């Protein structure tokens, strides 16, 4: 029996149940072990104050290390580039739609929102790009699970909100999407739309069981994105995006680093065959062209405190 550690949110449970069903189809019995994480408990606080994106993984990874669970199922965009000693990402499932989605009260697309419209998102990546695209809208923080965020929109607390397309589709809520936002408008977060499986180093039984779930083309893309993220030292307090896709049998990687206000955005792209080398090369290019200055600004206590965090 493989014990799968998972958060208890509807989306996390969908992802864990999906993995459980696929393992069952391969002849491997698995059971779910819901675990409440720091990020789930402290929804009224900003992520950088409770451990960043890793706040959604900490207790699950501790359960892996102590042997209370055998496998963890994560949204890859929530997984830091540095893992606890003794753990590894053992498989990436086929990536779902990586784009962001706009949901609006009056079925207006992003370009059609009224001046002064209130748009909800806590992600600094989304905030910076939204402000660059529509300086006349008001960006406000929005935390909570998918249901909570959509409820706040329906209650009129926001005119529009931005969520990940993949999560909405997985929860069967794609009919509520007003507009799919193309990467040219909102570049996705590194790993967005991908599900990652984590287990203990040396656990050959679990690694062998999930090997058939690994999707190599998706892995190449997200590895390039995460290599860039690691090279930039990006976390939840850095407005950056990265998106790789296969074009003409090569990887095309696009990325940006920005100020939270969207006033300065350093963009770049590169193509290549080796995912990690591609990520490193594009990160170096961004740093040389101004991203290093932006990252230093964001690292100062005053800027981080004022900017907040998001993912």
**What is the full per-residue pLDDT of the chain (311 aa) written as tens digits?**
999 999 999 999 999 999 999 999 999 999 999 998 766 655 555 545 444 556 779 899 999 999 999 999 999 999 999 999 999 999 999 999 999 999 999 889 999 999 999 999 999 999 999 999 999 999 999 988 899 999 999 999 999 999 999 999 999 999 999 999 999 999 999 999 999 999 999 999 999 999 999 999 999 999 999 999 999 986 667 899 999 999 988 999 999 999 999 999 999 999 999 999 999 999 999 999 999 999 998 877 454 333 333 44
Q: What's the CATH class of domain 2-93+194-214?
A: alpha beta
Task: Return the closest-CA partner of residue 253 out of 261, 243, 262, 238.
Answer: 243
Question: For position 311, what pLDDT does the model report?
Answer: 43
Residue at token pair 């000693």: 85
> Which letter does DSSP use for residue 77 in this model?
G
Q: How far apart are CA 48 and CA 53, in angstroms?
A: 8
Residue 257 β-bridge partners: 240, 266
Cα atoms in the 13 Å half-sphere on the side-chain side of 309: 23
Task: Return the closest-CA partner of residue 158 out of 196, 191, 210, 121.
Answer: 121
In order, the DSSP letters of 103-154 are EETT---GGGSPTT-EEE---HHHHHHHHHH-TTSEEE---S-HHHHHHHHH
For the purposes of burial, counting CB atoms within 10 Å of the CB of 182, is it exposed (0-12), middle (13-18) or buried (19 or more)? exposed
3 state DSSP class of 9: coil
The two three-digit tokens of residue 160, written as one number: 């529009």
Question: For position 38, what pLDDT does the model report?
Answer: 66
Which element (helix H / strand E) includes 24?
helix 10-25
Cβ atoms of 245 and 95 within 8 Å: the answer is: no
Question: For position 37, what pLDDT does the model report?
Answer: 76
Q: Just list the catalytic residues.
A: 78
Helices (H), 180-215: 204-210
- For the chain, residues classed under CATH 3.30.160.40 are 224-307
Question: For position 308, what pLDDT does the model report?
Answer: 34
Question: For position 23, what pLDDT does the model report?
Answer: 98
CATH node for 224-307 = 3.30.160.40
Q: How far apart are CA 240 and CA 259, in angstroms?
A: 9
Cβ atoms of 128 and 260 within 8 Å: the answer is: yes
Query: What is the second-level CATH architecture of the domain 100-181?
Result: 3-Layer(aba) Sandwich (3.40)
Which residues contact residue 227 at a Cβ distance below 8 angstroms, ignoring those fewer than 6 apart? 275, 276, 277, 278, 279, 280, 283
Cβ atoms of 7 and 56 within 8 Å: the answer is: yes
- For the chain, residues classed under CATH 3.40.190.10 are 2-93+194-214, 100-181
Question: For position 73, what pLDDT does the model report?
Answer: 97
Which element (helix H / strand E) includes 200?
strand 195-200
Question: For position 236, what pLDDT does the model report?
Answer: 62
Cβ atoms of 291 and 238 within 8 Å: the answer is: no
Question: For position 120, what pLDDT does the model report?
Answer: 97
Q: How far apart are CA 20 and CA 14, in angstroms?
A: 10
Which residues contact residue 260 at a Cβ distance below 8 angstroms, ignoring those fewer than 6 apart? 124, 127, 128, 131, 239, 298, 307
């Amino acid at each position: 029996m493989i014990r799968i550690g998972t958060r208890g949110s509807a989306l996390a449970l969908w992802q864990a149940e999906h993995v459980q069903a696929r393992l069952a189809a391969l002849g491997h019995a698995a059971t779910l072990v819901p675990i409440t994480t720091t990020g789930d408990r402290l929804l009224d606080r900003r992520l950088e104050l409770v451990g960043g994106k890793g706040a959604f993984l900490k207790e699950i990874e501790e359960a892996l290390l102590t042997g209370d669970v055998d496998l963890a199922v994560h949204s890859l965009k929530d997984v830091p580039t540095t893992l606890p000693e003794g753990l590894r990402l053992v498989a990436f499932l086929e990536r779902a739609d990586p784009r962001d989605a706009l949901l609006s009260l009056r079925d207006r697309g992003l370009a059609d929102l009224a001046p002064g419209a209130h748009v909800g998102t806590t992600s600094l990546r989304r905030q910076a790009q939204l402000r660059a695209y529509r300086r006349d809208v008001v960006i406000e923080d929005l935390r909570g699970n998918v249901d909570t965020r959509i409820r706040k929109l329906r209650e009129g607390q926001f005119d529009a909100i931005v969520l990940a397309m993949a999560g909405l589709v997985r929860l069967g809520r794609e009919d509520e999407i007003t507009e799919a936002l193309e990467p040219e408008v909102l570049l996705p977060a590194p790993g967005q739309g991908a599900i990652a499986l984590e287990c203990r180093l040396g656990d050959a039984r679990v690694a062998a069981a999930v090997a058939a779930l690994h999707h190599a083309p998706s892995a190449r893309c997200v590895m390039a994105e995460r290599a860039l993220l690691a090279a930039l030292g990006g976390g939840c307090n850095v407005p950056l995006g990265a998106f790789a896709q296969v074009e003409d049998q090569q990887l095309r990687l696009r990325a940006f680093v920005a100020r939270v206000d969207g006033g300065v955005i350093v963009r770049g792209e590169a193509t290549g065959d080796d995912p990690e080398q591609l990520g490193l090369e594009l990160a170096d290019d961004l740093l040389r062209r101004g991203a290093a200055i932006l990252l230093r600004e964001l690292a100062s206590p005053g800027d981080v405190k004022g900017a907040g965090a998001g993912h």
